[in-house]
Amino acid sequence: MQVREYDQTKVQLSFNASRIDDLDSLLDEPVKQKIHEQGIALDDIVRDVRRRGYTPGPVFELQADSKTVRVWLE
């Protein structure tokens, strides 16, 4: 997971792919609000990742104002 603001990395986390099940708890409230406003359903995303067997690839990307949040599996 990576959070960039004004083209600078603010947060970059790596963790076991199964932690995607806890994605909601890994995000702060302002980011979760932006995700909700853009119609991104975290529960649906997590279910899809599980269904795919946690295969590598992008999970989602959010552009909000000066901030970019990217989540992917390697």
pLDDT of 70 higher than 90: yes
Mean pLDDT score, 40-59: 92
> So what's the pLDDT on residue 31?
85
Q: What residues does 5 pair with on adjacent strands? A: 8, 67
Note the pLDDT of residue 52: 93
The CA distances from residue 39 to 3, 6, 11, in Å, are 19, 23, 23
Eight-class DSSP state of 41: -
In the predicted model, what is the mean pLDDT of residues 7-16? 91
5 — pLDDT class (breaks 50, 70, 90): very high
